[in-house]
Structure 1
Amino acid sequence: MDRLGRSTVQLLMLLDDLRSRSVEFQAITQGIDTTTAMGRMVYGQLAVFAEFEREQNSVRTKAGMASARKRGKHIG
């Protein structure tokens, strides 16, 4: 999911755009099938989790870089 869009809103807009063109989204390995209410719910939840994980990665990266700077490491 994190490769399809950068935010929950963007992923939901993508799904809406696909559906407006009579295209349904399926991701077999993730068990997502937007032809069903359950599949749309799973898609939405995974979109939220993907955005959260992206934000957490950013927080961890910034914290790691700040820690390295405090130890005198050059961040390039």
Structure 2
Amino acid sequence: MFKKQVGDTIIETLIKYRLNQAEKLIKYTIRPITEIALGVGFNSPDYFSRKFTDYFGVNPSKYRKQQRDRVN
């Protein structure tokens, strides 16, 4: 029923929420990527990196570099 109304499963929705939280932390803090991954609820930094890359099209480190390059 959740998937029918939202379009994603509960797990997919939770992962997207965590990825969006991580994206903000990557963008606006200098915390290490691994710390961010664990902080938003991913048990494995490698899994986090794969899911982040799938969702945003670039790995977390490169995403951070791109964001910093835009500001400078």
TM normalised by structure 2 equals: 0.33
**Structure having the larger proportion of residues in strand:** 1
Instruction: Please identify the structure whose Cα radius of gyration is greater.
Output: 1
Report which structure shows greater RCO (CA 8 Å, sep ≥6). Answer: 1
TM normalised by structure 1 equals: 0.31
